[in-house]
Chain A
Amino acid sequence: GAGVSQSPSNKVTEKGKDVELRCDPISGHTALYWYRQSLGQGLEFLIYFQGNSAPDKSGLPSDRFSAERTGGSVSTLTIQRTQQEDSAVYLCASSITGSRSYNEQFFGPGTRLTVL
Chain B
Amino acid sequence: AQSVTQPDIHITVSEGASLELRCNYSYGATPYLFWYVQSPGQGLQLLLKYFSGDTLVQGIKGFEAEFKRSQSSFNLRKPSVHWSDAAEYFCAVKAAGNKLTFGGGTRVLVKP
Contact B100 A45 (CB under 8 A): yes
Binds A, one of B40-48, B67-75, B78-86: B40-48
Number of interface residues of A (CB under 8 A): 26
Indicate whether A108 reaches chain B with its CB closer than 8 angstroms.
yes
**Contact residues, B8-67 vs A (CB, 8 A):** 32, 36, 41-46, 49, 51
Pick the contact of B43: A56, A95, A103, A109 (CB < 8 A).
Answer: A109
Nearest A residue to B41, CB-CB = A109
Contact A33 B99 (CB under 8 A): yes
Nearest A residue to B98, CB-CB = A98
Q: Closest CB of chain A to B52's CB: distance in Å?
A: 10
A31 and B98 contact, Cβ closer than 8 Å, known pairs A102-B49, A109-B42, A109-B43: yes
Indicate whether A113 reaches chain B with its CB closer than 8 angstroms.
no
Contact B46 A48 (CB under 8 A): no
Pick the contact of B105: A42, A50, A95 (CB < 8 A).
Answer: A42
A110 and B43 contact, Cβ closer than 8 Å, known pairs A43-B90, A102-B32: yes
Contact B100 A105 (CB under 8 A): yes
A48 and B97 contact, Cβ closer than 8 Å, known pairs A42-B102, A42-B105, A43-B105: yes
**Chain B interface (Cβ within 8 Å of chain A)?**
32, 36, 41-46, 49, 51, 90, 92, 94-95, 97-105
